[in-house]
Amino acid sequence: MTALLASVRSHDEALDAVAAGAELIDLKEPEAGALGGLATGDVARIVETLRARYPVKPISATIGDVPSHALDEIAARVIEVGATGVDYVKVGVAPGPAALRCLDLLASLPAAVIPVWLCDAEPGGETGAAATADLVAHALELGFVGMMFDTAGKDGRTLFDHVDADSLAHWLRTAREHGTLCGIAGSLGWDQLEQIRALAPDVAGFRTALCVDGRRSRLDPQRVAQWAGALHRSSGDYVPGRSAQAPEAARVPRF
């Protein structure tokens, strides 16, 4: 089963997403970029609220859109966000000369870091699988608990416009062989539902598809429930637009 990760920006959105069936709550600020970070004080307050009502609900938070070569800033942000009490700290990693050094740093920090591969950020404006494949292999050697495949650009193109399904399937399969959980995100919507089901990642992450009018608008609990229902059902027995709560017995993967 693929679990639903809902990216939220506020206390109210977080509570709505959990009530509607989201298994993982991801804290970010969509106004600040693809992996825009919330103020750490806000992250800490949301974590405190969720822990009081849902003590085992997995929570992640991003550090913000920080370039991979800014190692000192990345380290400081990871430690700061990790201190808020989140389970996982998400860090965007783009292919490039600094990416491997960035991964080495992330693996050494006192936090459970989830590298997020920005698959549309190939150096020189080109996209492809080779650079990301090298990063995936190195991350698996370093022993991260999980990883996600995403896009930096939110321009209407999806993850599948930048990475072919065969490459994604290979990376997911390799990660499973290493005991590493994997997620996908990147402007995914109903048109990509069957591709998501075919890949069967541990986690599928959404923001835009869960909102009323674009990723910067308010999260809609009904859309969260619709996506939870879609991800938890077999192909062909779910109709987009029909509200459905997630099954009570749904397994929540933990990175």
The amino acid present at 57, given as its one-letter code, is K
Active site residue 28: yes
Q: 40-53 vs 71-82: helix axis angle to the nearest 10?
A: 30
Does residue 57 carry a catalytic annotation?
no
Helices vs strands, H then E, count in the chain: 8, 8
Q: Classify 8 as helix, strand or coil.
A: strand
Residue in this structure with the two tokens 């459970």, named with its chain if needed: 112
The residue length of the chain stands at: 255
User: Active-site residue among 9, 28, 197, 223?
Assistant: 28
9, 90, 162, 197: the catalytic one is: 90
Of 129, 183, 119, nearest to 153 by C-alpha is 119
Rounded Cα–Cα distance for residues 129 and 145 (Å): 22
Q: What CA–CA distances, in Å, run from 190 to 19, 135, 180, 206?
A: 21, 29, 27, 11
**Beta-carbon neighbour count of residue 72 at 10 Å?**
8
* Nearest-angstrom CA–CA distance, 112 and 100: 18
Contact 246, 229 (CB under 8 A): yes
| Cα distance between residue 78 and residue 63, in whole Å | 6
Enzyme catalytic residues: 28, 90
